[in-house]
Amino acid sequence: MSRLPFYLLTGLLIVAGIALSIHRHVEFEVPWTPGEKRQVWEVEAQVDFVGQGDPVIVDMALPGPQQGYRLLTENTASSGYGLSFLEDERGRRAQWSIREASGPQQLYYSAQMLVAPQAKRLDIPPPKLKKLVWEPPFDAAAKQVIERAHQRSADAYTFARELIRDFTGDRQGENVRLLLTQFEQVPLLVKLLNEAGVHARQVSGLLLEDGRRRQSLTSWLQVYNAKGDWVLFNPYTGEQGRPENLLLWEDRGEAVLDVEGGSNSRVYFSMIEHNQPAAAAVRNQLSNDTLLNFSIHSLPLEDQALFQTILLIPIGALMVVFLRVLVGIKTSGTFMPVLIALAFIQTTLLTGLIGFLLVVAVGLVIRNYLSYLNLLLVARVSAVIITVIAIIAIFSVLSYRFGLNAGLTITFFPMIILAWTIERMSILWEEEGPKEVLIQGGGSLLTAVLAYLAMNNPWVRHITFNFLGVQLILLALILLLGNYTGYRLLELKRFKPVTES
């Protein structure tokens, strides 16, 4: 019978597992190793204004996901105010409201922005062209400024750059100076660009610098080309491109802060940089599960902790299959070592080994007595289970009395599995003798220890919990090992006389 379908299946599982894991790492920035740190900026906006005893509505622009940054968390502090987060064609905004406010008022908004180089910028539609009616003599001056920049440019971006340069240094002519007497520079640049048929708008950004306080937003030009792509320009230097430390706070050309019912309003910004574990930094993103972003991070933390242990079982199963199929180690029960290894994770290795040996040793002595009673199998196993529970309870009480709190963790051992282990070893003792008991018991314990070392590795715990595609790879490896029919390593000693002759 052809084995091609089998190998195609295992190959498909491996490819699918690797693809899902790489997609999760690239698309959602889940780190490969535990302990990785990510750069996070915590920015706080403080809104100050003076209430006049009337109803107040405060409307402030908020940052959103953008190129290079991703919003992690946001919080507000506004005692007595109602708060709503709005999102429409004007972008994300926070709106505070109160029936009456008098005297100085302060509102706070803080956001944590993750530095994410792979984060994509939002597709924002270009602004509509706004053509103005220029009054003399400003109409002639604007026309000459536009014509001069147009002659030295080739497209929308070069036109914007040349236009800005005409406003700086020695290139600032009489026409520019005349226009600046009537208009502010950044709104004037937007008007001139629109007059020339170039889509542009004024946006507000925050230059991030660790430990800065009471900072203000800076104005930038957002210029679109015919394809709908846009580029930022510094409206005072003509420098093209977005600085790495620039966080766009408002990117729709709207007012950053609008206060109704108050006066002397202004907003200041404070910021601080810190690093935090990458797993925590991307947890919010992972909680929004889709078909391709399937994860268990949306579950309650208690269930997540449970799955973190459950997802280690395939690692232990792979270790058991490897040791039994390729190495040839004999164990008492097929996957009993995996369950014992899980108990070792809870008890620590040394405490678990001592507890396991004590329970099994005492259980074998009692089981030896039960064999003289000639009980039926069901009754005998039930008696062994009750005996194991009693042994664990006695050891737990004694360890507590002696101040050995680590001994209390012996309760994590699977009692049913221990009872069956004692029963199987007792029957094996009667049928095969103590040597076979030591071989299978020692093999089980060795397998459990090796499975524990593999399952308790921090890197393994991180990979199995955060990359569910790894489970497909483990399944494929187990299937491949299950197809092995050759000699085991421990069986090679039978051929030693052949090599010596």
In degrees rounded to 5, what are phi and psi of residue 55?
A: -60, 145
What is the mean pLDDT of the segment spanning 231-253?
90
> Which residue would you say has higher pLDDT here, 312 or 418?
312
CA 155 to each of CA 74, 162, 197, 241: distance values in angstroms, whole numbers, following the listed order:
40, 11, 11, 16
Distance of CA 396 to the CA centre of its chain: 40
Specify whether the CB–CB gap between 114 and 66 falls below 8 A.
Answer: no
Query: pLDDT per residue over 243-278, tens digit each?
Result: 888 999 998 888 999 999 999 999 999 999 888 776
Specify whether the CB–CB gap between 477 and 23 falls below 8 A.
Answer: no
**Sign of the Cα pseudo-torsion (321, 327, 331, 336, in order):** negative
What is the mean pLDDT of the segment spanning 346-374?
81
Give the pLDDT band of residue 413 (cuts 50, 70, 90).
low
Task: Give residue 292's pLDDT.
Answer: 42
User: Under DSSP, is residue 57 helix (H, G, I), strand (E, B) or coil?
Assistant: strand
Measure the N-to-C terminal CA separation of the chain; round to a whole number of Å: 39
> What mean pLDDT value characterizes the chain?
84
Task: Give residue 409's pLDDT.
Answer: 53
Task: Give residue 170's pLDDT.
Answer: 76
Task: Give residue 412's pLDDT.
Answer: 55
Write the CB contacts of 377 (distance below 8 Å, at least 6 apart in sequence).
none
Task: Give residue 219's pLDDT.
Answer: 93
Select, from the ranges 356-365, 390-399, 452-461, the one with the highest average predicted confidence (pLDDT). 452-461
Instruction: Return the minimum-mean-pLDDT range out of 84-98, 141-155, 276-290.
Output: 276-290
Gap between the Cα atoms of 113 and 69, Å rounded: 6
Give the pLDDT band of residue 227 (cuts 50, 70, 90).
confident
Task: Give residue 267's pLDDT.
Answer: 94
What's the predicted TM-score (pTM) here?
A: 0.65
**Residue 405 scores a pLDDT above 70:** no
Instruction: Return the minimum-mean-pLDDT range out of 104-108, 163-167, 390-394.
Output: 390-394
**Residue 291 scores a pLDDT above 50:** no
Give the pLDDT band of residue 402 (cuts 50, 70, 90).
low
Task: Give residue 289's pLDDT.
Answer: 47
Give the pLDDT band of residue 223 (cuts 50, 70, 90).
very high
Gap between the Cα atoms of 101 and 50, Å rounded: 8
Three-class DSSP labels, 235-279 = CCCCCECCCCCEEEEECCCCCCEEEECEEEEEEEEEEEEEEEEHH
Query: pLDDT per residue over 28-57, tens digit each?
Result: 777 888 877 788 899 999 999 999 989 999
